Amino acid sequence: MTSKIHVLHIKGISHFNKAGELLWKDKNLDNILHDEGEQYILSAAFATGYSGFGVAPDNLYLGLDTSTRTLAEADTLSLVGENSLTNGYERKALSTRGTGVSGQDFVLNQPSTFYRAESKIWTWSCINAAWTTVTKLFLCTAPSGTSGKLICTVPLSSNRTLQPGDVISAAIYIGLII
């Protein structure tokens, strides 16, 4: 059985062309919580000396995955595909050191019977050349490369190929609900 805790949930994601016209949008997409993501979350709160995990870093990183793989709990960052940094792509650093109030990377709120950390809107802009088709959004512990931990991944409802001048933006929320 796959873990369905809403560790990463896309509140909204949109794709705009260079003229600013909306090409596609979606909201409320579910994630898969990867094994090392589950270990990371539990160790950051309950076993802070756990080898390779432990205390939360200053930032988590949000990225766009281009792989066509079927998601599995055992996935790691080595399976993630990403666009070239020369065309405007980069993982977005989300600070974990805020106090959870307005204007910070995450705001804590209680929309129902549970609490969640809701992000501000993050934007990626395609420059120079078209990007490889984006298929998923992921959250990890590394600013680049494959040495960090893959926490969770959300498959998009529609694959997106960005052309120069196109923008994709997303807001996420993180909550421990089942």
Q: pLDDT tens, 140-176? A: 999 999 999 999 899 999 999 999 999 999 988 887 6
Q: Which residues pair with 174 in a beta bridge?
A: 117
**Residue 35, helix vs strand vs coil:** helix
- 3-12, 81-90, 125-134: which has the highest mean pLDDT? 125-134
More confident of the two residues 84 and 165: 165
Q: How far apart are the first and last CA of the chain?
A: 13
Give the pLDDT mean for 50-72.
88
Please return the burial class of 93, using the count of CB atoms within 10 Å of its CB with bins 0-12, 13-18 and 19+. Answer: middle
The two tokens of residue 56 are: 């939360």
* pLDDT value, residue 3: 44
Beta bridge partners of 90: none
Tell me the mean pLDDT in the region 115-140. 92
CA atoms in the 13 A half-sphere facing the CB of 52: 7
Residue 69, pLDDT score: 93
Structure token pair of residue 40: 């990371």
pTM of the model: 0.87
> For 103-118, what is the mean pLDDT?
83
Rounded CA gap, 176 and 51, in Å? Answer: 23
What's the whole-number mean pLDDT along residues 15-31?
A: 91
